[in-house]
């Protein structure tokens, strides 16, 4: 009997159209946490829906032609797509942000930290997975047109061209994160995914990771910008104090939560030190995670805003020529030490720290029976280690870069070590429990800071202690606690983001440095401001940042603070501010050594 190839082709293509729609339906419905939400998306953004559909269809066609089986194709494409959707779903539930390509590089970190988290099996995930399994089983029962080898090769090429052409069109015609930020008050990457769908949004984020050369960039222009700041770089430091910089995990001023009552001020010591010494806040590029981004900004003075906050700097941009605060102090005779309460490989710190000039790295593997809190090495144990290292030091001044872990999520552990209770009329019992655990934990941090300062108050050597937070804690799902406590309005405009991306710092000293209020400054300025505060002016770039901070106090994708302290968006910048921002990117692009590497 003669085969009707045309009929077989139509039937096979029909199955591909159906299965691609079903796969898209399961993934998008899961991400939107509503199995009917897909239809609203189709109605509101038909162009984005069609592009996502064609992309899945073309992938199914590619693998069906390659393997001559519909079931195998649906298993590969559907399995990978749904796995990414499930991961993105849980990331959104935990942190309020969807999965982005750079997150895939953090698979090891995510697996490590997920052991500490109580991740629930959500009903929507179960339904989505079961529907996906049903689709895959059904696909294995469908017959595929069997093609000769030559036709299969041509068909694979044509479908691959369809996929890449559609992907390029999708990236160009669908609004990007930067386009959306002009007209949307939502966090832009989330809105991008909601409008464009997961595949197009994910593809656009891949494109965002590709760095573009700054406008007007040249080596000569960078040298011209820095030339005036070479003045005074030969001036010797009058005093070389020990410097202890502590980046405290998820540390923020919880007393700013409106109408929340505390049985005891969890930050009483920290507040006292702020009122008596130097204080301020840093604007961070991150919320709820990616801790290493803030420490990179503080140590190098370089902003992850320019390279994308999701693009982990430690693994992509740190190399042996990377300049840092630690290297500058090392050249002054300092012994440089990194101390961290977690694993050395976390965020590739074991590779990044030596390139940043940190000669010794002590992490959780190096502790013997440390005191734990909430399952992590406690802040108290880290303070004990700092003191022990100091007591066994040589005559060189010390630079400590310390990263704590005790206050890390999750906050569902009912930690009540300090017996602090909290109350708020609008918060649920679950939210109050998370807040109680967090408050009792940061009280430990507050007590550990006092222990450290009490010790160095009795030390003759001049010493400076800096403590700052890396980002706000993700106290519950999707910023709900911050909205319910009226900390933010919930529209994620520049005022909301200025609260969600800002943490406090204090600079204590034992040799009569002046009291100072730095106000809110960008995290990239903190290292340079500390160096300036102790009388170090030997680096042109750090000197340049001091002047830049007078024009742009803070900058990033969510908000900007101008020289007068006004909160703005990037679209509101004056011409001078735009030029200042571009000049910063030119210098930082040069310091990254992208063209040389």
**Where residue 398 sits, what CATH number does that domain have?**
3.40.720.10
- Euclidean distance between CA atoms 516 and 507, whole angstroms: 9
Place of tokens 């190399």: 319
DSSP assigned state of 309: T
Domain presence at residue 228: no
Element containing residue 517 per DSSP (H, E)? strand 516-522
pLDDT at residue 182, as a whole number = 41
Helix 291-300 / helix 523-533 crossing angle, nearest 10 deg: 40
Same domain, 414 and 509: yes
Same domain, 185 and 325: no
Domain presence at residue 399: yes
Same domain, 167 and 304: no
Could you give the 3-state DSSP secondary structure of residue 21?
helix
Domain presence at residue 225: no
Same domain, 186 and 256: no
Same domain, 251 and 193: no
Domain boundary among 165, 185, 208: 208
Domain presence at residue 328: yes
Report the candidate in 408, 528, 486 with the shortest Cα–Cα distance to residue 110.
408
Structural domain including 588 reads 241-592
Domain boundary among 208, 229, 256: 208
- 45 token code pair: 């953004």
Domain presence at residue 59: yes
Domain presence at residue 226: no
Same domain, 281 and 182: no
Three-state SS string over 527-589 comes to HHHHHHHCCCCCCHHHHHHHHHCCCEEECCCCCEEECCCCEECHHHCCHHHHHHHHHHHHHHH
Task: Give the sign of the dihedral formed by CA 517, CA 518, CA 520, CA 524.
Answer: negative
- 170 token code pair: 């999708």
Task: Give the sign of the dihedral formed by CA 370, CA 371, CA 376, CA 381.
Answer: negative
> How does pLDDT run along the chain (597 residues), one tens digit per residue?
455 556 766 777 788 788 888 888 888 887 777 667 677 888 888 888 888 888 888 888 888 888 777 888 888 888 888 888 888 877 776 666 677 776 666 655 555 555 555 566 777 777 777 888 888 888 787 776 666 666 667 777 888 888 888 877 777 766 555 554 444 444 566 677 777 778 877 777 776 666 778 888 899 999 999 999 887 667 788 899 999 999 999 999 999 998 899 999 999 999 999 999 999 999 999 888 888 999 999 999 999 999 887 778 888 889 999 999 999 999 999 999 999 998 888 888 999 999 999 999 999 999 989 999 998 999 999 999 999 999 998 899 999 999 999 999 888 888 999 999 999 988 899 999 999 999 999 999 999 999 999 999 999 999 999 999 999 998 887 788 999 898 998 888 899 999 999 999 999 999 999 999 999 999 999 999 999 999 999 999 999 999 999 999 999 988 999 999 999 998 899 999 999 999 999 999 999 886 654
Same domain, 70 and 202: yes
Domain boundary among 208, 224, 259: 208
Same domain, 122 and 256: no
Query: How many domains does the chain fold into?
Result: 2
Could you give the 3-state DSSP secondary structure of residue 267?
coil
Same domain, 190 and 245: no
């Amino acid at each position: 009997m003669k085969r009707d190839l045309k009929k077989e082709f139509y039937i096979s293509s029909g199955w591909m159209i159906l299965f691609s729609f079903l796969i898209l339906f399961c993934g998008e419905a899961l991400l939107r946490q509503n199995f009917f939400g897909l239809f609203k998306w189709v109605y509101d953004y038909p162009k984005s829906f069609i592009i996502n559909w064609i992309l899945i269809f073309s992938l199914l066609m590619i693998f069906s032609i390659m393997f001559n089986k519909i079931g195998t194709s649906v298993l590969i494409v559907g399995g990978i797509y749904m796995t990414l959707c499930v991961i993105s779903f849980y990331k959104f539930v935990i942190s309020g942000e969807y999965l982005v390509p750079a997150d895939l590089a953090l698979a090891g970190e995510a697996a490590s930290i997920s052991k500490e988290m109580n991740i629930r099996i959500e009903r929507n995930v179960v339904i989505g997975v079961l529907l996906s399994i049903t689709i895959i089983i059904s696909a294995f029962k469908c017959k595929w047109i069997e093609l000769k080898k030559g036709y299969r090769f041509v068909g694979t090429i044509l479908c691959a061209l369809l996929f890449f052409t559609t992907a390029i069109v999708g990236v160009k015609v669908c609004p990007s994160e930067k386009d959306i930020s002009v007209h949307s008050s939502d966090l832009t990457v989330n809105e991008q995914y909601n409008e464009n769908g997961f595949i197009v949004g994910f593809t656009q984020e891949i494109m965002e990771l590709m760095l573009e050369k700054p406008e007007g960039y040249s080596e000569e222009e960078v040298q011209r910008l820095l030339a005036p700041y070479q003045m005074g770089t030969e001036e010797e430091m009058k005093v070389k104090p020990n410097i202890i910089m502590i980046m405290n995990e998820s540390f923020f001023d919880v007393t700013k939560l409106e109408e929340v009552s505390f049985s005891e001020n969890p930050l009483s010591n920290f507040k006292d030190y702020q009122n008596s010494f130097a204080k301020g806040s840093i604007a961070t590029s991150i919320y709820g995670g990616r801790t290493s981004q803030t420490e990179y900004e503080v140590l190098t003075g370089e902003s992850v805003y320019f390279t994308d906050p999701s693009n982990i700097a430690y693994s992509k941009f740190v190399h042996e020529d990377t300049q840092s605060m630690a290297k500058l102090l090392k050249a002054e005779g300092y012994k440089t030490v990194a101390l961290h309460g977690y694993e050395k490989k976390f965020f590739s710190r074991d590779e990044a720290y030596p390139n940043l000039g940190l000669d010794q790295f002590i992490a959780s593997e190096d502790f013997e029976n440390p005191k734990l809190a909430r399952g992590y090495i406690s802040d108290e144990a880290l303070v004990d280690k700092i003191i022990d290292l100091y007591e066994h030091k040589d005559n060189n001044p010390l630079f400590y870069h310390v990263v704590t872990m005790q206050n890390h999520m999750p906050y569902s552990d009912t930690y009540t070590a300090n017996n602090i209770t909290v109350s708020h009329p609008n918060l649920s019992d679950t939210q109050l429990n998370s807040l109680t655990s967090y408050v009792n934990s940061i009280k430990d941090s507050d007590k550990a800071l006092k222990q450290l300062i009490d010790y160095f108050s009795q030390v003759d050597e001049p010493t400076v202690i800096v403590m700052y937070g890396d980002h706000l804690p993700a106290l519950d799902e999707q910023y709900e606690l911050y909205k319910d406590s009226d900390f933010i309005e919930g529209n994620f405009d520049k005022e909301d983001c200025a609260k969600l991306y800002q943490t406090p710092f204090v600079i204590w000293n034992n040799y009569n440095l002046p009291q100072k209020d730095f106000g809110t400054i960008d995290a990239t300025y903190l290292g340079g401001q500390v160096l300036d505060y102790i009388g170090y002016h030997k680096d042109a770039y750090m000197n340049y940042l001091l002047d830049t901070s007078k024009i742009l106090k803070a900058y990033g994708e969510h908000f900007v603070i101008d020289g007068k302290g006004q909160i703005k968006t990037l679209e509101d910048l004056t011409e001078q501010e735009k030029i200042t921002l571009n000049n910063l990117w030119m210098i930082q692009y040069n310091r990254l050594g992208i063209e040389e590497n």
